[in-house]
Amino acid sequence: MIVTESLSKRFPRVTALDRLSLDIGPGVTGLVGANGAGKSTLIKILLGLSPATEGRAAVLGLDVATSGSAIREQVGYMPEHDCLPPDVSATEFVVHMARMSGLPPTAARERTADTLRHVGLYEERYRPIGGYSTGMKQRVKLAQALVHDPELVLLDEPTNGLDPVGRDEMLGLIRRIHTDFGISVLVTSHLLGELERTCDHVVVIDGGSLLRSSSTRDFTQATTTLAIEVTDSDEHPDGSAALHEKLTAARVAFHEGVEEGLPGAGHVLLIEATGEETYDLVRDTVAGLGLGLVRMEQRRHHIAEVFRPGAAAQGAEQPMEAQNR
Ligand SMILES: Nc1ncnc2c1ncn2[C@@H]1O[C@H](COP(=O)(O)OP(=O)(O)OP(=O)(O)O)[C@@H](O)[C@H]1O
């Protein structure tokens, strides 16, 4: 879908992209990097809107240096910043964008209605955009990127400014762009954690250079840590403490950090599994104590941990800046 070879973009005072080589296939790909890492610059080059200083790039097999308008016909673009006219409705705006993309009037109106429904804008679509919330504006920006049924969409920070619920909804929509319509997606973010749930593949850039490009599965590979959660009993009012004691006596190694379990359940213990026998030992010890085993699961890495060793217990919603400190 997207190939870049030693792509560089130099501004007088700053190198925004530095010999970046990528090969991005179909599916949902996340492009993650701190503010200023070069994400928007890359997108503008891929759309043929800004020339590279060095190197080459092709989108859907088309050279960005010579085929910008052909690329923009087949690629949708959701810009990062607010760029919507306040005094027209979502319907009027998206129909206009559809017509600009070459759709005839009837098709433009039909596609606009379908697309606005898909992004979750209903009655509001006839009101002026100026009165919309940030979440609604982001949906309009997404709709105009999709209205001409592109093969690929480039979404620049689509979750910017959204609250956690709005973010989850937007990430769900992005996932469905691919699963429901077969459109491939390149989505940028400065939040590592949110891409983990949404993307098949993640590309991480820093200072315009490639840090890592891997499938999400490779980023979040299984660890040898087991999370164990048990119930309490009359005999053992603190079930996890009793289990901790028994397993320590059996020379099981514990990882630091505790996770709160489900309401009413004990704390989660994190232990190092040395093999199948660790699972058997836990099962037998829990049964011997007369406790209930709520869960015993192999933990997976979070993407954030790949860049910030030791962050396991702190969750994955860390902005990229956090790792650069
Ligand atoms: N037109 C320009 N002139 C000069 N410098 C620029 C220009 N556009 C971008 N830059 C610089 O290039 C670097 C990369 O910017 P870019 O906007 O691509 O980053 P980004 O990863 O998209 O971050 P953000 O999410 O904050 O936009 C930054 O240092 C920025 O200041």
Give the residue carrying structure tokens 């759709």: 103
Residues 104 and 178 in one domain: yes
Residues 255 and 148 in one domain: no
Give the Cα separation of 302 and 190 in Å (integer): 15
What's the pLDDT at 243?
Answer: 93
Residues 237 and 107 in one domain: no
User: How far is ligand 1, taken at its centre, from the CA of residue 42, in Å?
Assistant: 10
Give the Cα-Cα-Cα angle 236, 238, 244 (nearest 5 degrees). Answer: 95
Q: Whose CA is nearest to atom 2 of ligand 1?
A: 11
Per the domain annotation, does 178 fall within a domain?
yes
Mean pLDDT (whole number) for 124-147: 93
Q: Any idea what the CATH number is for the domain that residue 283 is in?
A: 3.30.70.260
From the CA of 12, give the closest atom in ligand 1. Answer: 4
Residues 148 and 30 in one domain: yes
Task: Return mean pLDDT, the chain.
Answer: 86
Residues 160 and 289 in one domain: no
Assess whether the C-beta atom of 16 lies below 6 angstroms from ligand 1: yes
**What is the share, in percent, of the chain residues with pLDDT greater than 70?**
89
Mean pLDDT (whole number) for 296-305: 74
Per the domain annotation, does 312 fall within a domain?
no
From the CA of 17, give the closest atom in ligand 1. Answer: 14
User: How far is ligand 1, taken at its centre, from the CA of residue 114, in Å?
Assistant: 34
Question: Is it the case that residue 66 has pLDDT exceeding 60?
Answer: yes
CB 9 within 8 A of CB 15: yes
Residue 17 forms beta bridges with which residues? 9
Q: Which of 25, 66, 36, 8 is nearest to 324 (CA)?
A: 36
- In this prediction the pTM is 0.74
Residues 205 and 268 in one domain: no
Q: Which of 84, 204, 69, 60 is nearest to 142 (CA)?
A: 84
Residue 31 forms beta bridges with which residues? 188, 203
Residues 28 and 163 in one domain: yes
217-250: b (≥16 Cβ within 10 Å) or e: eebbeebebbbbbbbbeeebeebbebbbebbeee
DSSP string, 169-225: HHHHHHHHHHHHH--EEEEEESBHHHHHHH-SEEEEEETTEEEEEEEHHHHT-EEEE
Assess whether the C-beta atom of 11 lies below 6 angstroms from ligand 1: yes
Per the domain annotation, does 310 fall within a domain?
no
Name the residue of 39, 80, 186, 203 whose CB sits within 8 Å of the most ligand 1 atoms, as the mutation to test its pocket.
Answer: 39
Residues 231 and 168 in one domain: no
Q: What is the count of structural domains for the chain?
A: 2
Per the domain annotation, does 306 fall within a domain?
no
Name the residue of 31, 41, 210 whose CB sits within 8 Å of the most ligand 1 atoms, as the mutation to test its pocket.
Answer: 41
Assess whether the C-beta atom of 9 lies below 6 angstroms from ligand 1: no
Name the residue of 7, 14, 18 whose CB sits within 8 Å of the most ligand 1 atoms, as the mutation to test its pocket.
Answer: 14
Per the domain annotation, does 311 fall within a domain?
no
Span 238-249, pLDDT tens digits = 988 999 999 999
Give the Cα separation of 12 and 10 in Å (integer): 7
Residues 65 and 189 in one domain: yes
pLDDT band of residue 174 (cuts 50, 70, 90) is: very high
Question: Is it the case that residue 141 has pLDDT exceeding 90?
Answer: yes
From the CA of 37, give the closest atom in ligand 1. Answer: 21
Q: Whose CA is nearest to atom 16 of ligand 1?
A: 38
What's the pLDDT at 70?
Answer: 92
What's the pLDDT at 36?
Answer: 84
Last residue of one domain, picked from the residues 201, 219, 237: 219
CA neighbours closer than 13 Å in the CB half-sphere of residue 310: 2
**CA distance readout (Å), 177 to 28, 147, 174, 218, 301:** 9, 12, 5, 23, 26
Tokens of 254: 């514990």
Residues 118 and 265 in one domain: no
Name the residue of 40, 83, 203 whose CB sits within 8 Å of the most ligand 1 atoms, as the mutation to test its pocket.
Answer: 40
Assess whether the C-beta atom of 204 lies below 6 angstroms from ligand 1: no
Burial, 155: exposed, middle or buried (Cβ in 10 Å; 0-12, 13-18, 19+)? buried
211 versus 306: which is more confidently predicted?
211
Span 187-219, pLDDT tens digits = 998 877 777 778 889 898 888 899 888 888 777
Mean pLDDT (whole number) for 2-22: 93
Tokens of 250: 């059996």
Could you tell me the residue range of the domain that residue 45 belongs to? 2-219
Instruction: Give 195's contacts (C-beta < 8 A, 6+ positions apart).
Output: 30, 32, 187, 189, 202, 216, 303
Assess whether the C-beta atom of 239 lies below 6 angstroms from ligand 1: no
Q: Which of 31-35, 82-86, 175-179, 299-303 has the lowest mean pLDDT?
A: 299-303
Residues 277 and 180 in one domain: no
Q: Is 44 helix (H, G, I), strand (E, B) or coil?
A: helix
Mean pLDDT (whole number) for 67-76: 92
User: How far is ligand 1, taken at its centre, from the CA of residue 139, in Å?
Assistant: 24
pLDDT band of residue 62 (cuts 50, 70, 90) is: very high
Assess whether the C-beta atom of 40 lies below 6 angstroms from ligand 1: yes
Q: Any idea what the CATH number is for the domain that residue 115 is in?
A: 3.40.50.300
User: How far is ligand 1, taken at its centre, from the CA of residue 217, in Å?
Assistant: 30
196 versus 166: which is more confidently predicted?
166
Q: Whose CA is nearest to atom 12 of ligand 1?
A: 16
ipTM of the complex: 0.93
Residues 226 and 203 in one domain: no
